[in-house]
């Protein structure tokens, strides 16, 4: 898709309170033809931490992915704005972690991180399925793509069982397990929703979210955002149910 960027009508992006979410939001707004509607789901609807960066309206205030009522309210809001066009792109970006080692990991950490990182994207995907289906149908017989209808789960290479990267630097069992489970969710979504024309892919944004200590990662936020948006512009049916990184390289599960 080269320089023309990502063409997508209606987008919902969770986890816009800072970091990658805010970066992706800004990157989408700066596309040559930006989305008609960007729904920025953040816990702080006032956006007081965003400084001078414009947060597009309408956003979904208090879209807490761990709270089904909050998700339902967000669905109603999006539905009211997009109507029969539906939702083309859902980016499940909300994520959390707790620093831990195998020796210090706790049930509380595991539950908390899994609830946000795995159950959150599940509930959000389930709730927005009717609007994603609408978008897939509205685009007629076109190929699968992020422009038509897609769920992108922002994952991490730390969730790759085969690669098992950065063990010495960061054990973070709760985070690794939640992202491995999110990757399985991506595969399940792809198997179930693929026949409706909805593309489902896991993406590693390169800098681990939340980030490691300063200087740990080779990638800046800008490079990550640019890479992820470039990847999204190129995804097609052959990529359904797979795992990619910000450089556009396929990752092993």
Per-residue pLDDT of the chain (253 residues; tens, 9 = 90+): 445 688 999 999 999 877 889 999 999 999 999 999 999 888 655 544 444 455 555 455 557 888 999 999 999 999 999 999 999 999 999 988 889 999 999 999 999 999 999 999 999 999 999 999 999 998 666 899 999 999 999 999 999 999 988 888 889 999 999 999 999 999 999 999 999 999 999 999 986 545 555 545 667 888 999 999 999 999 999 999 999 999 999 999 9
pLDDT of residue 165: 83
The candidate with the shortest Cα–Cα distance to 202, out of 117, 61, 92, is: 92
Sequence-separated (6 or more) residues with CB below 8 Å from residue 148:
88, 135, 136, 139, 142, 197, 199
Contact (CB, 8 A) for 114 and 181: yes
For 47, the domain range is 10-250
Domain assignment present for residue 116? The answer is yes
pLDDT of residue 248: 94
pLDDT of residue 168: 83
Number of domains making up the chain? 1
Domain assignment present for residue 2? The answer is no
CATH code, 212: 3.40.50.720
pLDDT of residue 228: 96
pLDDT of residue 164: 84
Domain assignment present for residue 5? The answer is no
Give the Cα separation of 115 and 101 in Å (integer): 19
Domain assignment present for residue 187? The answer is yes
pLDDT of residue 41: 87
Q: SS3 breakdown of the chain: % helix, strand, coil, rounded to 5?
A: 45, 15, 45
CA atoms within 13 A on the CB side of 219: 19
Give the Cα separation of 183 and 186 in Å (integer): 5
Length of the chain: 253
Domain assignment present for residue 21? The answer is yes
Domain assignment present for residue 1? The answer is no
């Amino acid at each position: 898709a080269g320089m023309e960027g990502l063409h997508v009508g209606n987008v919902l992006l969770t986890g816009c309170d800072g970091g990658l979410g805010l970066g992706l939001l800004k990157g989408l707004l700066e596309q040559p033809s930006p989305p008609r509607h960007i729904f920025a789901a953040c816990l702080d609807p006032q956006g007081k931490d965003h400084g001078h960066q414009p947060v597009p309206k309408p956003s979904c205030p208090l879209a807490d992915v761990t709270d089904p009522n909050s998700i339902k309210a967000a669905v109603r809001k999006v539905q009211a704005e997009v109507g029969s066009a539906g939702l083309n792109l859902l980016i499940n970006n909300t994520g959390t972690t707790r620093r831990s080692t195998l020796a210090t990991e706790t049930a509380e950490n595991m539950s908390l991180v899994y609830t946000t990182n795995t159950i959150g994207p599940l509930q959000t995907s389930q709730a927005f399925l009717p609007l994603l289906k609408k978008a897939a149908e509205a685009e007629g017989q076109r190929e699968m793509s992020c422009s038509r209808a897609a769920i992108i789960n922002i994952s991490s290479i730390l969730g790759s069982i085969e690669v098992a990267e950065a063990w010495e630097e960061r054990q973070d069992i709760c985070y690794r397990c939640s992202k491995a489970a999110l990757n399985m969710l991506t595969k399940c979504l792809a198997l179930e929703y693929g026949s409706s024309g909805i593309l489902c892919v896991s993406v590693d944004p390169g800098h681990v979210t939340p980030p490691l200590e300063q200087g740990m990662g080779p990638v800046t936020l800008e490079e990550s955002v640019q890479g992820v948006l470039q990847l999204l512009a190129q995804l097609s049916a052959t990529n359904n149910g797979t795992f990619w990184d910000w450089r556009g390289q396929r990752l092993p599960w």
